[in-house]
Structure 1
Amino acid sequence: MSWVEGIINFFNFIGSIVCHQKPERTLVVGGHSLPVCARDTGAFIGLDIGYITLIFLRDKDASGPPNLFLTLAMSAPLYVDSFGQLFGFWTSNNDLRLFTGILFGMSLTPFLVYALSLTFFKGKIPLLKRIQPKNADLNAKDSWFNVKAMGTNMLISILLFAGIKSIVGNEFSLF
């Protein structure tokens, strides 16, 4: 086994811990299936982009939680699509899975970072230390990640999905 195959096998093992890895729901890059399905790929991309937008769009002086309504609105498509397919109302496709995953990941990032700032993890995770609210307060009215920031996240989600689709096309086989 070559070192490249070893790396691919390692990531496939890690992916198998968090994902079903069904081949028909997985994107292909260079002839190899990604270690996670299209929805999980979208969620991980969304988490990464959400983190980057937190760096630039959060209100550094605010202490209130992210807008719960918009967080739920961005998460809802994933739940609707997942449960709709689970209960046989429709068959989802990788386009929808990827898009709902991106939205979900982007909405989850500010929520998770804020939630961690309410626990003993505040200031203990180097990647999050500088972006967590200084004085998180669930009762505060000034949202730490406001409607404008969440709206920007939604726009980035749509543009990111359109960019991936323009590169990938309909077969979801990259390169």
Structure 2
Amino acid sequence: MTLTKFARNGATIGADPHASGGQILAQVEQATDIAPDFVIFDGGVNDAQSIFRDHAYTIATYAAELEKTLHTMRRKWPTAPIVYVAAHKLGSRDWGTQVALREVTLETCRKWGIAIADIFGDTTFDTRDDAQRAKYTFDDLVDGFPGAEGSGTHPNMAGITTFYLPVVSDRLQQISSR
């Protein structure tokens, strides 16, 4: 598989003028029109900060922007299977905001026929548990690679291979076998 990454760290589904990665909708609009074999995306992690801590927008605004994003993906790549990756349970974000965003996102993805690789619901990855936070997340690179002892947001290689890779791979295989 050839991977083309259009995502940017710090991006949000909602339009937050302070989001370091911009808005995911803009990334989709700027990506090539050539239909990929798969589209894999996530969202909500930085939105949780924008909504809870920064009060940049509301969950309702997030929901409307997610609708626009999915509509744009479907219009731009009508033949491409799309997979939303639901992030793990985050000790670094407000729990109520995470749960509310998750409910809206899963409902909207189902409405649009978007497949879900559900790390949140289908794994035990939960960085509210300090041992998991320390072992499976990073904030800084060590010799060019993700370290450990992170804030609980960014999965390191152990977190990716233990929790993300199996769920995402399984979902892609399910889609491919149709």
Range of TM-score over shorter length = under 0.3
Structure with the larger strand share: 2
Higher relative contact order (CA 8 A, sep 6+): 1
Q: TM-score, normalised by structure 1?
A: 0.27
Q: TM-score, normalised by structure 2?
A: 0.27
Structure with the larger helix share: 1
